[in-house]
A and B are shown apart, each in its own frame.
Chain A
């Protein structure tokens, strides 16, 4: 039913429902249980922003606090996954992923391939990303393009509470390693979420708004910037079709092409820095496969190629907003050869 909960609660509910359904699902990470290395009592933190709060009490023994050593506990989660567990490991900030790249890129992503399909690695690495919380350059990046680049990983970027629950349930049930990217500025966003369990298949973009004039492809928090812009543009007589990718790997190229073949115009909105990001990837794909349909050059709305600034004013300027999407849509609409 139409019950509204937050993005944070939706993630918690997804983990809880899968822990209930499947004893092999475990949670591990820093401060998931008690914080500061304590045994984890009633004051369990549930991770640094409280996303897994309450799980320790419900599933004692299955929510594990780990030392502040990502290389160790991500490696442990991946190893446990190969032996039949379904670990949901919380790696606090995506920015910290660098210390365990070998475990992720060279081990988890390769096992299925290198063991000829005899090994599966059903691990989920939950991690928060994105700017907007005044957390500075080392805690604010959008690094999902790096994982999207690696064959063998699935990469998920939910934009709404409904998608967060359904995509995380799919991630936990999936037999491949999944990098589940949670935008930290969306945790308090509320929306309708069924109480029942449901899985949203990977590689299926959501058309969140229909329109015939311009296709706007977005992901994560940028979906909301795009829909806000589309609302303003509709008043000016420009109807945008807003496509939320939901997963960057696999990528739903069919939905993107179908839309662009109809509209002939594409704007891609990506909070990541502009080189080798999702905007460039989608743009290149469309340019190659739907060139004949394009009636204007593709526009990309992204962050600038700089670290995320700590200054409030500069951080606000850094993050793509609805106005920049509006400008880009107008540019492709008005373009003349």
Chain B
């Protein structure tokens, strides 16, 4: 039996379609001390580039896979263990991991499971086998996004608990019909997911427009919300990059869309060709153009934000944490101070509006912080 203090760092599954990833560069070296959340290695897939973070504390004892290698999802790429575990044991475990990669014997990792409500709202569920499904984390994306926006966040959160990532109406795999496009209709859709999954209370996490949606659920039905994590939420100030929002709604081609998408990130090189292609393909689907136009009318009124969520949240007894990218060009980070009663506000340098893609560890930590506060408050 190998020493159970040896922890395997594996190729993550970022999104339903990912089957393998290519290591591009190790950030740490063998022998380095690593802690949970530390960046370990950069990985790129056909869709996206990201960084694998440590889920363990210890010493990075062995690197199993090298830069330039394609490793299947679930394949062991490194080993973390305390310094006292003998080298011989690590060598044996590393050799076996290496053999599995070379022989193509890495067991397939099940990704999130798709569900759908009667109203046609799609959601992707992940979580450890046998995890209690009560009080799950529910992730709600922003305008023009989908459940896949959380690809760097859902997997680490799902190591400990059930996590549902929702596609709002008009988005992702959900029905491309938003009714009148009011915020209430999005709230009803989200409540539909809570009901369909048998969720009485949830830890809600919302980005941008999704932040306004989860805030309104907390404001109207606080008994169903254990905690709130607001990631650059809409509705906490008048300013917005209206040119981006209207441009996104009307852009029909790759050429129009690509320059706009750069504004979402602090580092514009995050706008990969596949990100643009996926969005162009999404925007061509029947019903999407109309859905985005109606929702735009909710988000933008007279050249300013049309949503005013802050007063609705004032006396709501739900613990909440706020995360914002300091370089957010869509909604300024200064809006973070307008969230009433926030337990903590994290303004992250080097991140733009898509802070959950650029600094996923910060968002994961914020959700954990909100969840911990809710658990402490209820015990």
Contact = CB atoms under 8 A, between A and B. Distances in A.
Interface in A173-203: 194, 196-201
A196 to B, nearest CB: 5
Contact of A194 (B17, B114, B285): B285
Contacts of A196: 176, 285-286
A2 interface: yes
B254 A197 contact: no
Contact of B16 (A1, A166, A210, A254): A1
B294 interface: no
B252 A201 contact: yes
B8 to A, nearest CB: 28
B281 A194 contact: yes
Nearest to B287: A196
Of the four ranges (under 10, 10 to 19, 20 to 34, 35 or more), the interface on chain B belongs to 10 to 19
A258 B254 CA distance: 13
B314 interface: no
A199 B284 contact: yes
B173 A207 contact: no
Nearest to A1: B173
Contacts of B17: 2
A197 B253 contact: no
Given A2-B16, A201-B252, A204-B253, A166 B173 contact: no
A1 B285 CA distance: 12
Interface string B246-275: 000000111100000000000000000100
Interface in A191-240: 194, 196-201, 204, 207, 210
Contacts of B252: 201
Given A1-B173, A201-B252, A204-B253, A210 B285 contact: no
Contact of B286 (A197, A207, A254, A258): A197
Interface string B278-292: 000100111000000
A198 B281 contact: yes
A166 B273 contact: no
Interface in B42-58: none
Interface residues of A, number: 17
B164 to A, nearest CB: 17
A210 B255 CA distance: 13
Nearest to B273: A210
Contacts of B253: 201, 204
Contacts of A204: 253
Interface string A291-305: 000000000000000
A198 B254 contact: no
Nearest to A201: B252
A204 B252 CA distance: 10
A198 B285 contact: yes
A162 B282 CA distance: 12
Contacts of A200: 284
A115 B255 CA distance: 36
29 contacts: A1-B16, A1-B114, A1-B173, A2-B16, A2-B17, A162-B281, A166-B284, A194-B281, A194-B285, A196-B176, A196-B285, A196-B286, A197-B285, A197-B286, A198-B281, A198-B284, A198-B285, A198-B286, A199-B284, A199-B286, A200-B284, A201-B252, A201-B253, A204-B253, A207-B254, A210-B273, A254-B255, A255-B255, A258-B255
Interface of B: 16-17, 114, 173, 176, 252-255, 273, 281, 284-286
Given A1-B114, A254-B255, A258-B255, 7 more contacts: A1-B173, A194-B281, A196-B285, A197-B286, A198-B285, A200-B284, A255-B255
Closest 10 pairs between A and B when the two form their complex, measured CB to CB: A198-B284, A197-B286, A198-B285, A2-B17, A196-B285, A204-B253, A1-B173, A210-B273, A200-B284, A198-B286
